[in-house]
Structure 1
Amino acid sequence: MLKRDNLPLGIVLGMFTPVFAFFLYYLLMFMPKHVSLDEFITLIVGNRQMLPKLISICLLLNGLVFYFYTRSRKDITAKGIFLVTMLYAITIIFLKLLHG
Structure 2
Amino acid sequence: MLKLDKLPFGIALGALAPILGLVLYYFLKTPSISFGEFVEYFFKTKAMLTAVGSLCLIANIVLFTIFINGRRDKTAIGIFAMTVMYGLIILYAKFFM
Query: Normalising to structure 1: TM-score of the pair?
Result: 0.83
Residue 43 (structure 1) aligned with residue 50 (structure 2): no
Runs of 4+ aligned residues of structure 1 deviating over 6 Å after TM superposition are: none
- Structure 1 stretches lacking a partner, 5+ long: none
- Structure 2 stretches lacking a partner, 5+ long: none
* CA shift for structure 1 position 70: 0.7
Partner of 1:7: 7
RMSD: 1.9
Q: Percent identity?
A: 37
- The structure 2 residue matched to 1:86, chosen from 84, 87, 95, is 84
* CA shift for structure 1 position 43: 2.1
Alpha carbons of structure 1 residues 96 and 47: separation in structure 2 relative to 1, 3 Å: closer
Query: Normalising to structure 2: TM-score of the pair?
Result: 0.85
d(CA) in 1 for partners of 2:39, 2:91: 21
Task: Work out whether residues 52 and 95 of structure 1, in 8 Å CA contact, stay in contact via their aligned partners in 2.
Answer: no
